Every structure is written in C-alpha cells, then in structure tokens.
C-alpha cells in the first residue's frame, strides 16, 4: 500500500487534480461494467425485440425495446463524454444524463433484475455528487468526503448482498452448490469436480457459502469505518476475489465498485505532525 500511496504522491507533485482523477477513474470503471457483457447484451436485445413480454405491471414505455436501447447507449455515451471532457458544465450534464439512463435500466422490464445496473446506479449517483464539487479549492477535504461516501456505498451493497444470504439454504451451501458446484464451467469449479467426490463437494460448498456470508456481513458492517486507504485496499481485494472465485460475468457487477473503492487511494496522507500542528502550543509554566 505504501507504493500505491507514493505513486499518488508523485502524481500530486506533478499537478494532479485528485477529485477529477478519481471521478474519471470511476467513469472508466462504469464503462467497463457496461460493456463487459457486450455479447450478452446483443443477444438479450435481439431476444427481447423478437419475443416481447407483456407484463401489465410495467407501463408501455418501460416495456419498449426502444427505451432500453436509448437508455443503455445514452448512458454509455454520456459516461464516455464525462470521462474525457474538461468542461465542468458538460461534465455535470453528462453525469446527470448517465444517472437518468441507468435509472431507466433499473426499472425497465428488460433489465430491472440485472444487478449490474444497480451497482452502476450507485456509482452514477456518486458521480453526480462529485461532478458538482470537483472544481473546489478544498481538494483534500473533498477527497476525504468522496472516499467516505464511496466506502459507505460499497458497505451498503455488501451488507445488502449478505442480508439476502441470511437463509438456511445459503448457510448449508445448498444454493451455491446448485448454482456453481454442479456444472458451472469455471476454472475453480472445474478443478473441484475433477478432484473431489460429490459428498466432498457438498462439504466444500457449505464452507464456501458460509465464508461468503461472513465476509460480506463483516465488510458491510465495518468497511465504511476504516481509514480511507485501508478501506480502498481491503474493498478492492474482496471485490476482486468475488470475481476470481465465483464467475467471470460478475465483472459487470463488480468493476464499477472496484473503481469506486479505489477512490480511497486518492486521499492524501496526513502529515505525521498534523496532530502537533493542530493542537495549541504548549504554554510556558508561570515563573514563581
């Protein structure tokens, strides 16, 4: 972590605008999340257009394939512009456009059940907030607030994921055994199936599932109270491990959160003598 901090310090000495750099990192991460499942989105778009689903719960415009296309492409275009533009007004406008587009994706019949757009929505909300403050003169204070908000969002998402797994089926490993261990084509599960018997796989699935529930719960409760850089490092590791040990398609859900977690690395280190400088000078004892 010291090497990461030193790298950011070198960038700062070269004139780095930390809030703007953090903002752009999150925009790039959002784009990775949007386009990671590119092939899936193309197939889903074709199926949805050719086989419309009529659910009266959704109004016509939230069932329309045109709406979902404009929402997706509009969000991607707005995010791409906000990533590269140096014009504050354009950055703010694109942040709002991206936020509204992803909001549509979260409530549209064709995409409301995809967690990808939920995590992106939180990152877009954070982006809207920062876009209105990125040009402030108080960069250090803004970065500390931005990092705190980022880890608060990640804690909320992890805790929500854990809460959904507080069930007997997850604690016993039954759910993840059916989803992953039986026939999922992924390096970890392929290895386990090739080297362990079904009864052993069920035992492994049980402890695999329990460690997920415990780690997500502890992270959701405690991640947001950690110092910025430690929270960034731990969150990045946890989120990366989720993908490495579960499913490559989760990159679309996790990538934007990893970008959001890395905001903590942009927080400047406090000088070691900050407490001394901030405290009142020691008074000389009165002469007798």
Given a cut of 50, the residues of the chain with pLDDT beneath it are: 12-14, 274-288
Over the stretch 206-226, which tens digit does the pLDDT of each residue have? 999 999 999 999 999 999 999
pLDDT, position 286: 41
Contact 38, 73 (CB under 8 A): no
Domain map of the chain by residue range?
A: 16-135, 139-269
pLDDT score, position 274: 47
What are the tens digits of pLDDT across the range 225-262? 999 999 999 999 999 999 999 988 899 999 999 999 99
Q: Alpha-carbon distance 208 to 281, whole Å?
A: 55
Residue 280 has what pLDDT? 38
Q: How far apart are CA 145 and CA 248, in angstroms?
A: 32
Could you give the CA distance from residue 83 to residue 85 in angstroms, rounded to a whole number?
A: 6
- 3 state SS for the chain: CHHHHHHHHHHHHCCCCHHHHHHHHHHHHHHHHHHHCHHHHHHHHHHHHHCCCCCCCCCHHHCCHHHHHHHHHHHHHHHHHHHHCCCHHHHHHHHHHHHHHHHHHHHCCCCCCCHHHHHHHHHHHHHHHHHCCCCCCCHHHHHHHHHHHHHHHHHHHHHHHHHCCCCHHHHCCHHHHHHHHCCCCCHHHHHHHHHCCHHHHHHHHHHHHHHHHHHHHHHHHHHHHCCHHHHHHHHHHHHHHHHHCCCHHHHHHHHHHHHHHHHHHHCCCCCCCHHHHHCCCCCCCCCC
- Give the side-chain half-sphere CA count within 13 A for 62: 15
Query: Within its chain, how far is the Cα of 66 from the centroid?
Result: 27
What's the pLDDT score for residue 16?
77
């Amino acid at each position: 972590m010291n090497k990461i901090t030193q790298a950011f310090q070198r960038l700062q000495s070269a004139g780095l605008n930390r809030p703007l750099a953090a903002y752009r990192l999150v925009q790039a991460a959002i784009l990775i999340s949007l386009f990671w499942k590119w092939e899936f989105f193309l197939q889903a778009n074709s199926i949805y257009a050719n086989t419309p689903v009529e659910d009266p719960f959704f109004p016509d415009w939230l069932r329309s394939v045109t709406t979902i296309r404009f929402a997706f492409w509009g969000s991607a275009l707005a995010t791409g512009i906000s990533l590269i533009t140096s014009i504050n007004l354009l950055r703010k406008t694109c942040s709002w456009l991206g936020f509204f587009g992803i909001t549509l994706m979260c409530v549209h019949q064709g995409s409301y059940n995809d967690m990808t757009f939920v995590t992106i929505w939180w990152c877009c909300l954070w982006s809207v907030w920062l876009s209105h403050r990125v040009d402030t003169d108080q960069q250090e204070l803004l970065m500390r607030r931005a990092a705190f908000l980022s880890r608060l969002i990640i804690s909320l998402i992890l805790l929500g994921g854990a809460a959904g797994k507080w069930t007997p089926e997850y604690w016993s490993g039954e759910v993840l055994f059916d989803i992953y261990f039986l026939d999922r084509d992924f390096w970890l599960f392929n290895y386990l199936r090739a080297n362990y018997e079904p009864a052993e796989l069920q035992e492994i699935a049980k402890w695999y599932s329990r460690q997920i529930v415990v780690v997500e719960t502890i992270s959701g409760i405690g991640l947001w109270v950690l110092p910025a850089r430690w929270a960034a490092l731990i969150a990045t590791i946890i989120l990366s491990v989720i993908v490495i040990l579960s499913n490559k398609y989760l990159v679309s859900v996790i990538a934007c959160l990893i970008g959001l977690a890395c905001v903590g690395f942009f927080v400047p280190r406090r000088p070691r003598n900050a407490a001394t400088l901030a405290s009142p000078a020691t008074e000389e004892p009165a002469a007798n």
